[in-house]
Amino acid sequence: MLTVLLSLNSGFQKNEDIDMKKDYSSLNSKFSVEFIQAVSDWQRGGNSGMKMKRGVRIKELVADQLDEFKACSFPCYRKVKLNPHFVWEMGDKLQIKETISAWTSSPDVAQSFKGGPERGSVCVIFKIIPRNEEVIINLESLFSDSEFMNYIDNCKAQVRHFDAGTGRYLGSQKEIILEIDSVDINDIYAFGGYSSHIDTIIQKASGLKANRKSRRSADRKGGFNGESYKPNWIINDAKDRTIEFLIKQTKEIKERNECISRTISGYFNTSD
Protein backbone atom coordinates (compact mmCIF):
# COMPACT_ATOMS: atom_id res chain seq x y z
CA MET A 1 0.00 0.00 0.00
CA LEU A 2 1.27 3.41 -0.93
CA THR A 3 2.02 5.33 2.19
CA VAL A 4 3.09 8.90 2.63
CA LEU A 5 4.76 9.49 5.97
CA LEU A 6 4.38 13.04 7.15
CA SER A 7 6.96 14.46 9.39
CA LEU A 8 7.85 17.25 11.57
CA ASN A 9 11.01 17.44 12.91
CA SER A 10 13.51 17.47 15.62
CA GLY A 11 15.41 20.29 17.06
CA PHE A 12 16.15 22.48 19.99
CA GLN A 13 14.08 24.87 22.03
CA LYS A 14 15.00 28.23 23.51
CA ASN A 15 15.29 28.40 27.27
CA GLU A 16 12.38 30.83 27.36
CA ASP A 17 9.97 27.96 26.64
CA ILE A 18 10.76 26.08 29.85
CA ASP A 19 11.48 26.60 33.53
CA MET A 20 8.07 27.60 34.90
CA LYS A 21 8.83 27.23 38.62
CA LYS A 22 6.38 29.66 40.19
CA ASP A 23 3.50 28.27 42.24
CA TYR A 24 0.03 29.32 41.12
CA SER A 25 -1.82 26.54 42.95
CA SER A 26 -3.88 29.20 44.74
CA LEU A 27 -5.99 29.45 41.59
CA ASN A 28 -7.34 25.98 42.54
CA SER A 29 -7.81 24.55 39.06
CA LYS A 30 -6.99 21.43 37.08
CA PHE A 31 -5.02 23.75 34.78
CA SER A 32 -1.71 25.43 35.51
CA VAL A 33 0.21 28.46 34.30
CA GLU A 34 2.85 26.05 33.06
CA PHE A 35 0.23 24.39 30.86
CA ILE A 36 -1.09 27.73 29.55
CA GLN A 37 2.50 28.72 28.75
CA ALA A 38 3.03 25.48 26.82
CA VAL A 39 -0.18 25.94 24.79
CA SER A 40 0.63 29.59 24.06
CA ASP A 41 4.17 28.70 22.98
CA TRP A 42 2.75 26.04 20.63
CA GLN A 43 0.37 28.58 19.10
CA ARG A 44 3.23 31.04 18.54
CA GLY A 45 4.61 28.73 15.87
CA GLY A 46 8.32 28.73 15.18
CA ASN A 47 10.65 26.47 13.27
CA SER A 48 10.16 22.72 13.06
CA GLY A 49 12.49 21.94 15.94
CA MET A 50 10.74 24.37 18.27
CA LYS A 51 7.31 23.00 17.33
CA MET A 52 8.42 19.45 17.99
CA LYS A 53 9.87 20.36 21.38
CA ARG A 54 6.78 22.31 22.35
CA GLY A 55 4.50 19.47 21.26
CA VAL A 56 6.43 17.05 23.46
CA ARG A 57 6.10 19.49 26.35
CA ILE A 58 2.31 19.66 26.00
CA LYS A 59 2.17 15.87 25.85
CA GLU A 60 4.17 15.65 29.09
CA LEU A 61 1.93 18.14 30.88
CA VAL A 62 -1.30 16.54 29.72
CA ALA A 63 -0.11 12.99 30.54
CA ASP A 64 -2.96 11.18 32.32
CA GLN A 65 -4.89 14.38 33.01
CA LEU A 66 -7.46 16.38 31.03
CA ASP A 67 -8.89 13.24 29.42
CA GLU A 68 -12.02 15.12 28.41
CA PHE A 69 -9.90 17.15 25.98
CA LYS A 70 -8.21 14.18 24.32
CA ALA A 71 -11.14 12.84 22.33
CA CYS A 72 -11.73 13.66 18.67
CA SER A 73 -14.39 11.79 16.71
CA PHE A 74 -14.58 14.08 13.68
CA PRO A 75 -12.37 14.56 10.58
CA CYS A 76 -9.14 16.50 10.97
CA TYR A 77 -7.29 18.27 8.17
CA ARG A 78 -3.66 19.25 7.67
CA LYS A 79 -1.99 21.13 4.84
CA VAL A 80 1.53 20.10 3.83
CA LYS A 81 3.71 21.89 1.28
CA LEU A 82 5.64 19.63 -1.10
CA ASN A 83 8.13 20.12 -3.89
CA PRO A 84 6.27 19.48 -7.21
CA HIS A 85 8.92 16.95 -8.32
CA PHE A 86 8.38 15.00 -5.12
CA VAL A 87 4.60 14.87 -5.64
CA TRP A 88 4.89 13.22 -9.05
CA GLU A 89 7.49 10.72 -7.90
CA MET A 90 6.26 9.82 -4.44
CA GLY A 91 5.57 6.19 -3.72
CA ASP A 92 5.89 3.57 -1.04
CA LYS A 93 9.53 4.33 -0.40
CA LEU A 94 9.56 8.12 -0.74
CA GLN A 95 8.39 9.46 2.59
CA ILE A 96 8.07 12.64 4.60
CA LYS A 97 8.11 11.88 8.29
CA GLU A 98 5.93 13.47 10.91
CA THR A 99 5.18 12.84 14.55
CA ILE A 100 3.51 15.63 16.58
CA SER A 101 1.67 18.08 14.35
CA ALA A 102 -1.16 20.60 14.16
CA TRP A 103 -4.42 19.61 12.50
CA THR A 104 -7.73 21.45 12.26
CA SER A 105 -11.39 20.44 12.21
CA SER A 106 -12.05 23.00 9.47
CA PRO A 107 -11.11 22.37 5.81
CA ASP A 108 -11.42 26.15 5.25
CA VAL A 109 -8.81 26.84 7.92
CA ALA A 110 -6.52 24.21 6.36
CA GLN A 111 -6.89 25.75 2.89
CA SER A 112 -6.25 29.32 4.03
CA PHE A 113 -3.42 28.48 6.46
CA LYS A 114 -0.40 30.69 5.69
CA GLY A 115 -2.15 32.17 2.67
CA GLY A 116 -3.26 29.01 0.87
CA PRO A 117 -1.38 27.54 -2.13
CA GLU A 118 2.13 28.87 -2.74
CA ARG A 119 3.83 29.41 -6.07
CA GLY A 120 6.55 26.92 -6.90
CA SER A 121 5.14 24.20 -4.69
CA VAL A 122 2.18 21.86 -4.40
CA CYS A 123 0.05 21.84 -1.27
CA VAL A 124 -1.62 18.64 -0.14
CA ILE A 125 -4.38 18.56 2.48
CA PHE A 126 -4.82 15.28 4.30
CA LYS A 127 -8.07 14.27 5.99
CA ILE A 128 -8.23 11.65 8.74
CA ILE A 129 -10.38 10.67 11.70
CA PRO A 130 -7.77 10.09 14.42
CA ARG A 131 -7.84 7.33 16.97
CA ASN A 132 -8.10 8.53 20.58
CA GLU A 133 -4.54 7.41 21.31
CA GLU A 134 -3.31 9.70 18.52
CA VAL A 135 -4.85 12.80 20.10
CA ILE A 136 -2.46 14.71 22.33
CA ILE A 137 -5.03 17.42 22.98
CA ASN A 138 -8.11 18.86 21.31
CA LEU A 139 -7.46 22.61 21.52
CA GLU A 140 -10.79 23.41 19.87
CA SER A 141 -12.59 21.68 22.72
CA LEU A 142 -10.23 23.20 25.29
CA PHE A 143 -10.93 26.78 24.17
CA SER A 144 -14.67 26.07 24.39
CA ASP A 145 -14.32 25.24 28.09
CA SER A 146 -15.40 28.08 30.38
CA GLU A 147 -13.10 27.03 33.24
CA PHE A 148 -10.10 27.07 30.91
CA MET A 149 -11.02 30.51 29.55
CA ASN A 150 -11.47 31.87 33.09
CA TYR A 151 -8.10 30.46 34.08
CA ILE A 152 -6.49 32.20 31.10
CA ASP A 153 -8.02 35.51 32.18
CA ASN A 154 -6.59 35.06 35.67
CA CYS A 155 -3.06 34.12 34.71
CA LYS A 156 -2.34 35.56 31.24
CA ALA A 157 -0.17 38.30 32.73
CA GLN A 158 2.20 35.56 33.89
CA VAL A 159 2.51 33.95 30.44
CA ARG A 160 5.50 35.05 28.39
CA HIS A 161 4.72 36.32 24.87
CA PHE A 162 1.01 35.68 25.50
CA ASP A 163 -0.11 38.23 22.88
CA ALA A 164 1.86 36.41 20.18
CA GLY A 165 0.38 33.02 21.04
CA THR A 166 -2.88 32.26 22.80
CA GLY A 167 -3.75 35.94 23.11
CA ARG A 168 -3.63 36.23 19.33
CA TYR A 169 -5.34 33.03 18.21
CA LEU A 170 -7.40 31.57 21.08
CA GLY A 171 -9.58 28.89 19.39
CA SER A 172 -9.80 30.51 15.94
CA GLN A 173 -7.69 27.81 14.27
CA LYS A 174 -9.97 24.99 15.50
CA GLU A 175 -6.82 23.04 16.24
CA ILE A 176 -6.20 19.47 17.33
CA ILE A 177 -2.65 18.34 18.14
CA LEU A 178 -2.06 14.80 16.90
CA GLU A 179 0.77 12.32 17.11
CA ILE A 180 0.60 10.03 14.08
CA ASP A 181 3.03 7.75 12.27
CA SER A 182 1.68 7.89 8.74
CA VAL A 183 -1.20 8.70 6.43
CA ASP A 184 -2.23 6.79 3.34
CA ILE A 185 -2.17 8.41 -0.08
CA ASN A 186 -5.92 7.86 -0.20
CA ASP A 187 -6.26 10.16 2.82
CA ILE A 188 -5.52 13.12 0.52
CA TYR A 189 -8.46 15.53 0.66
CA ALA A 190 -7.22 18.18 -1.77
CA PHE A 191 -4.32 19.30 -3.94
CA GLY A 192 -3.50 22.99 -4.09
CA GLY A 193 -1.27 25.01 -6.38
CA TYR A 194 -1.14 27.67 -9.04
CA SER A 195 -2.56 27.30 -12.53
CA SER A 196 -0.53 27.62 -15.71
CA HIS A 197 -0.13 31.11 -17.16
CA ILE A 198 -3.43 32.47 -18.49
CA ASP A 199 -2.00 32.61 -22.05
CA THR A 200 -1.08 28.91 -21.88
CA ILE A 201 -4.57 28.00 -20.73
CA ILE A 202 -6.16 30.02 -23.55
CA GLN A 203 -3.94 28.40 -26.17
CA LYS A 204 -4.63 24.87 -24.89
CA ALA A 205 -8.38 25.50 -24.68
CA SER A 206 -8.85 27.23 -28.03
CA GLY A 207 -5.77 26.33 -30.05
CA LEU A 208 -5.27 30.05 -30.68
CA LYS A 209 -2.70 32.50 -29.44
CA ALA A 210 -3.98 34.67 -26.58
CA ASN A 211 -4.94 38.28 -27.26
CA ARG A 212 -6.43 41.09 -25.21
CA LYS A 213 -10.03 40.00 -25.83
CA SER A 214 -9.46 36.34 -24.98
CA ARG A 215 -7.53 37.32 -21.86
CA ARG A 216 -10.42 39.49 -20.65
CA SER A 217 -12.85 36.64 -21.28
CA ALA A 218 -10.66 34.08 -19.50
CA ASP A 219 -10.04 36.50 -16.64
CA ARG A 220 -13.78 36.96 -16.14
CA LYS A 221 -14.77 33.30 -16.47
CA GLY A 222 -11.79 31.81 -14.68
CA GLY A 223 -11.59 34.21 -11.77
CA PHE A 224 -8.00 35.28 -12.36
CA ASN A 225 -8.81 38.77 -11.01
CA GLY A 226 -6.32 40.46 -13.31
CA GLU A 227 -3.48 38.08 -12.42
CA SER A 228 -1.56 35.90 -14.87
CA TYR A 229 -1.68 32.88 -12.54
CA LYS A 230 -4.50 31.62 -10.35
CA PRO A 231 -4.32 29.70 -7.04
CA ASN A 232 -6.64 26.74 -7.02
CA TRP A 233 -7.67 23.68 -5.02
CA ILE A 234 -8.45 20.30 -6.60
CA ILE A 235 -11.03 18.28 -4.65
CA ASN A 236 -13.64 15.55 -5.11
CA ASP A 237 -13.59 13.73 -8.50
CA ALA A 238 -10.72 15.80 -9.90
CA LYS A 239 -8.67 14.99 -6.82
CA ASP A 240 -9.46 11.27 -7.17
CA ARG A 241 -8.33 11.32 -10.80
CA THR A 242 -5.08 12.99 -9.71
CA ILE A 243 -4.46 10.27 -7.12
CA GLU A 244 -5.08 7.58 -9.76
CA PHE A 245 -2.55 9.31 -12.00
CA LEU A 246 -0.05 9.51 -9.13
CA ILE A 247 -0.35 5.78 -8.47
CA LYS A 248 0.08 5.02 -12.17
CA GLN A 249 3.03 7.42 -12.41
CA THR A 250 4.70 5.87 -9.38
CA LYS A 251 4.31 2.36 -10.80
CA GLU A 252 5.80 3.39 -14.16
CA ILE A 253 8.74 5.14 -12.52
CA LYS A 254 9.40 2.13 -10.29
CA GLU A 255 9.27 -0.29 -13.22
CA ARG A 256 11.53 1.94 -15.31
CA ASN A 257 14.09 2.25 -12.50
CA GLU A 258 14.05 -1.51 -11.94
CA CYS A 259 14.63 -2.06 -15.67
CA ILE A 260 17.57 0.37 -15.64
CA SER A 261 19.02 -1.35 -12.56
CA ARG A 262 18.78 -4.79 -14.21
CA THR A 263 20.43 -3.47 -17.38
CA ILE A 264 23.31 -1.87 -15.48
CA SER A 265 23.71 -4.93 -13.27
CA GLY A 266 23.78 -7.20 -16.33
CA TYR A 267 26.36 -5.01 -18.01
CA PHE A 268 28.79 -5.07 -15.09
CA ASN A 269 28.25 -8.76 -14.39
CA THR A 270 29.07 -9.78 -17.96
CA SER A 271 32.53 -11.26 -18.17
CA ASP A 272 34.81 -10.68 -21.19
Residue percentage of the chain with pLDDT more than 70: 67
The confidence band for 26, taking pLDDT boundaries of 50, 70 and 90, is: very low
Higher pLDDT, 82 or 128: 128
Higher pLDDT, 55 or 206: 55
| CB-CB contact of 126 with 78 (8 Å) | yes
The confidence band for 14, taking pLDDT boundaries of 50, 70 and 90, is: very low
Residue type, 14: K
Taking only the tens place, the pLDDT of each residue in 51-103 is 889 999 999 999 778 888 988 999 999 998 876 666 555 554 334 556 799 99
The confidence band for 167, taking pLDDT boundaries of 50, 70 and 90, is: very high
| CB-CB contact of 100 with 10 (8 Å) | no
Residue percentage of the chain with pLDDT more than 90: 35
| CB neighbours of residue 261 within 10 Å | 10
Taking only the tens place, the pLDDT of each residue in 216-253 is 776 666 655 555 566 778 888 888 887 887 777 777 76
Distance CA 148, CA 168 (A): 16
Kindly state the DSSP code that residue 28 receives in the 8-state scheme.
-
Higher pLDDT, 39 or 19: 39
Phi, then psi, of 175 in degrees rounded to 5: -95, 145
pLDDT given at position 156: 94
Q: Share the mean pLDDT of the chain.
A: 77
- Residue spans per domain, the chain: 3-190, 197-229
pLDDT given at position 13: 42
pLDDT given at position 201: 63
Pairing of strands 3-4, 231-234: unpaired
The confidence band for 44, taking pLDDT boundaries of 50, 70 and 90, is: very high
Higher pLDDT, 36 or 199: 36
pLDDT given at position 24: 43
Q: Which of 187, 173, 42 is nearest to 101 (CA)?
A: 42
pLDDT given at position 114: 75
178 forms bridges with which residues in the sheet?
A: 101, 135
